[in-house]
Chains A and B, each alone.
Chain A
Amino acid sequence: MNIDLSEEALEFGRLAKRALEAAGGDELAQIAEREPDRRESLVGPVLAELGAWQLDPRDSADELEAAAALCRSAGYWAVSYPVAERLCRPSDLDADGLVVVADPAPAAAVGGLDRRWAAVTLDGRRSMATARPMAASPRRSAFVVELDLESVDDAGASDVPLGLVLPCWTLLGMLDRAVELARSYVREREQFGQPLATFQGVQFQLTEAEVERVGLEELAKYALWSIEAGRHEALDDALALRLAAVEAAERVLRVAHQLHGAIGFCDETVLSWVSRQSVPLRRLPLGLSGTRAELTRRLGRRGLTGIFG
């Protein structure tokens, strides 16, 4: 068993990262927040040119892995576009994307986009979703809007693992970036006549963030493989990944903020944007305790199967 992404998928991810950088990089999120009407035109065409919308992650392992690598690159630039959600679009419904919903008041970060959405609950009930208008500015809402659902069928069980796993790859990309930002910041910023990085108290915090990030990366690969392999535990693995991703995000972002000091809360720093864009991914469809409760309910006393079966 090999859970690593294929070399082609990795190369596609690198290509996407460069293309998004050329299209604006860090500025993509900033422009989208200032001019919400440009949310689609900023990112959509770049990804179309890369061939992103020809990818069908349900079709083959190669395409699934390429989709994951693309999400990670989009996360790295915190692009504020539902890349994972669009990649998950169901083939048999007239929809441009798919979101997993879990609450009596379903919501998703799809505000300001003129797209058709399908939604699926954790138990596989599918609907068509209409996004309500944004109730608050993107700065405040991070483009989260409530959804009105119109029931379709109960055939979505196999959509759920994919719909949970790909957004975790986006979040992973954000954590890649947060660790990178914190690492370079503490090497540059001097206090007490020396770079912050020379304090062991700083190094240890950064190391803890890095350990979280690396652990998440492994789990993300595993949950992806679980989908590829068509394992019937794929949903358990997806929920376990989500739990780990949300936990890792809190720890990594908190360390990154702490090490940036006051400036990390100002929009002059990229970290401020990354952490704001990460909020919907961490909260929706289920936050930490919701995900944990769902996983516990599903697993009972059985435990996860894991790589070694």
Chain B
Amino acid sequence: MATSDLEEFRAEARRWCQAHIPADWRQTQVGVSDEEDVSFQKAWFQELRKAGYAVPHWPREWGGGMSVAEQIVLYQELAAHDAPRLVLAFVSIHHAASTLLAAGTEEQRRRHLPAILDGEIWVQGFSEPEAGSDLASLRTTARREGDAFVVNGQKLWASGAAHADWCLLLARTDVTAPKRKGISYLLMDMRSPGVDVRPIRNASGEWHFCEIFLNDVVIPASQLVGPENEGWRVAQETLSAERGMTMLELSERLGNAGFRWLVEECSRARPDGLRLLDDALVQDGLAALETEIAGLRLLCRGLVERHEAGTAGPVEASVVKLFYSELLQRMMDFGTEVVGLAAQTSLHKPGSSGWESGAWALDFIGSWEWTIPGGASEIQRTIIAERGLGMPREPEVAR
């Protein structure tokens, strides 16, 4: 796309943001109930959808079709105008869609992609009490019975499961095969009998984690994604979407919302008349962050472009995930630090905000979580070492 077209698109996106982003959502979304949060999220998703902005990264035939450059411009404008984040639909538009597009049947895509646009919510049901970093050791079983699978087991840490309609589920279909060879990938209707969801409270006082108990849940065989017992391979699609593709939006957020606020905060005159920005230490810190954010944005762009061209390497998503999560933490450290006391007393985080909510103390705690999901940093490092640098595998008892 020519630069002038891109600039025209930016102007259009900017006008849309100015006209459609509710000016007061940060105030109105503080302390709201779960139900209000969900309905606000769903309504906001539909606003974006009407403009063609909800799933810009999907193929055109399914309602997306923006070039990577356009996506970046859109995410920049949304961030710069402080749009609410799509927290609830995150797994639906990224994890679920990527998996269906890469490995789903035509029928599965037709059943779910339009439904996602209509507001269908998905949850990722991968982790289990005994299967975290070692995801392949999962124990939930799916027993084939005629045209269906009967599922039993327990999933843990499923973010947002309480509001989900559907679940991306990994279950063991061959208990005798080696760990990675006996797993299947299933689409599970959360309203099926035998599905029991229980919320867990986390350190910042929120409830987004859930446990899912599965007791003789029947899933039709038509909801199998990819071949039986090859779910591990399909799961890599989901994980690489989680580690890499979601980061395009997140990195623009980091640069255009979180970092910009930090600079604004540092530019404000304090009661003693001084600005933090006048301090050489603060300048140094901000410059280092700016450099790293620029690097992250380039990394993300490169990854998404190569992914679309089918040339992405096996470790690129891990590099992006590792860099994003640790940079987010460095930025939150710095933010909490320089904003100082205000950080301790401002503890109201609005719903619909991301990891840069502006409530630094909570964002700081929240950012610590980021080096864990989608494979902890150590697992990303192992992937980069083994698959990227060709290092020998770590000695292991069982794999």
Task: Pick the contact of B281: A103, A190, A289 (CB < 8 A).
Answer: A289
A73 interface residue (CB < 8 Å to B): no
- Which of chain A's residues have a CB closer than 8 A to the CB of B372? 258, 261-262
Q: Which of B279, B376, B382 has the most CB of A within 10 A?
A: B376
Stretch at the interface among A175-183, A214-222, A273-281: A273-281
Contact B202–A266 (Cβ < 8 Å): yes
- A103→B205 CA distance, assembly (Å): 27
Contact A292–B281 (Cβ < 8 Å): yes
Contact A250–B272 (Cβ < 8 Å): no
- Which of chain B's residues have a CB closer than 8 A to the CB of A293? 279, 281
- A248→B156 CA distance, assembly (Å): 32
- Which of chain A's residues have a CB closer than 8 A to the CB of B156? 262
- Which of chain B's residues have a CB closer than 8 A to the CB of A264? 203
- A288→B399 CA distance, assembly (Å): 43
Known A-B contacts A104-B270, A192-B396, A194-B396; A144 and B203 likewise in contact (beta carbons under 8 Å): no
Contact A267–B203 (Cβ < 8 Å): yes
- B329: nearest chain-A partner, CB-CB: A254
- Which of chain A's residues have a CB closer than 8 A to the CB of B341? 103, 105, 107, 283-284, 287
Task: Pick the contact of B376: A144, A194, A261, A280 (CB < 8 A).
Answer: A261
- A272: nearest chain-B partner, CB-CB: B203
- A288→B330 CA distance, assembly (Å): 13
A193 interface residue (CB < 8 Å to B): yes
Stretch at the interface among B79-87, B126-134, B302-310: B126-134
- A296: nearest chain-B partner, CB-CB: B281
- A158→B397 CA distance, assembly (Å): 59
- A268→B132 CA distance, assembly (Å): 17
B338 interface residue (CB < 8 Å to A): yes
B80-138: which residues lie under 8 A (CB-CB) from chain A? 127, 130, 132-134, 137
A133-191: which residues lie under 8 A (CB-CB) from chain B? 135-136, 139-141, 144, 146, 190-191
A308 interface residue (CB < 8 Å to B): no
- Which of chain B's residues have a CB closer than 8 A to the CB of A306? none
Contact B347–A140 (Cβ < 8 Å): yes
Known A-B contacts A103-B341, A289-B281; A261 and B132 likewise in contact (beta carbons under 8 Å): yes
Known A-B contacts A103-B340, A135-B345, A290-B340; A193 and B397 likewise in contact (beta carbons under 8 Å): yes
Known A-B contacts A103-B340, A104-B270, A292-B281; A139 and B205 likewise in contact (beta carbons under 8 Å): yes
- Which of chain A's residues have a CB closer than 8 A to the CB of B342? 105
Q: Which of A141, A258, A265, A268 has the most CB of B within 10 A?
A: A265
B41 interface residue (CB < 8 Å to A): no
Contact A262–B378 (Cβ < 8 Å): no
Known A-B contacts A192-B399, A193-B398, A262-B157; A283 and B281 likewise in contact (beta carbons under 8 Å): no
Binary contact track A291-307/B, C-beta < 8 Å → 1, others 0: 01100000000000000
Contact B398–A289 (Cβ < 8 Å): no
- Which of chain B's residues have a CB closer than 8 A to the CB of A284? 341, 344
- A275→B364 CA distance, assembly (Å): 12
Q: How far is the CB of B45 from chain A (nearest CB, A)?
A: 27
Binary contact track B351-380/A, C-beta < 8 Å → 1, others 0: 000000000010001001101110011100
- A101: nearest chain-B partner, CB-CB: B341
Known A-B contacts A192-B134, A262-B373, A289-B281; A140 and B205 likewise in contact (beta carbons under 8 Å): yes
B10 interface residue (CB < 8 Å to A): no
A309 interface residue (CB < 8 Å to B): no
B343 interface residue (CB < 8 Å to A): yes
- A77→B337 CA distance, assembly (Å): 26
A257 interface residue (CB < 8 Å to B): yes
- Which of chain B's residues have a CB closer than 8 A to the CB of A93? none
Contact B201–A267 (Cβ < 8 Å): yes
- A269: nearest chain-B partner, CB-CB: B203
- A53→B381 CA distance, assembly (Å): 51
- A104→B270 CA distance, assembly (Å): 9
Contact B377–A258 (Cβ < 8 Å): yes
Q: Which of B156, B209, B345, B371 has the most CB of A within 10 A?
A: B345
A201 interface residue (CB < 8 Å to B): yes
- A201→B396 CA distance, assembly (Å): 13
Q: How far is the CB of A246 from chain B (nearest CB, A)?
A: 9
8 closest Cβ contacts across the A-B interface?
A193-B398, A193-B397, A191-B134, A140-B347, A265-B203, A104-B271, A283-B344, A103-B341
24 contacts between A and B (CB under 8 A): A103-B340, A104-B271, A105-B341, A105-B342, A107-B344, A141-B347, A144-B344, A191-B132, A192-B399, A193-B134, A257-B368, A258-B371, A261-B133, A261-B372, A265-B209, A267-B203, A275-B203, A275-B365, A276-B203, A276-B365, A283-B341, A283-B344, A287-B340, A287-B341
A: which residues have CB within 8 A of B? 103-105, 107, 135-136, 139-141, 144, 146, 190-194, 199, 201-202, 250, 254, 257-258, 261-262, 264-268, 272, 275-276, 279-280, 283-284, 286-290, 292-293
Having A144-B345, A193-B398, A267-B202, one finds 9 other A-B pairs with CB under 8 Å, namely A103-B340, A104-B272, A107-B344, A140-B347, A191-B132, A199-B378, A202-B378, A262-B373, A290-B340
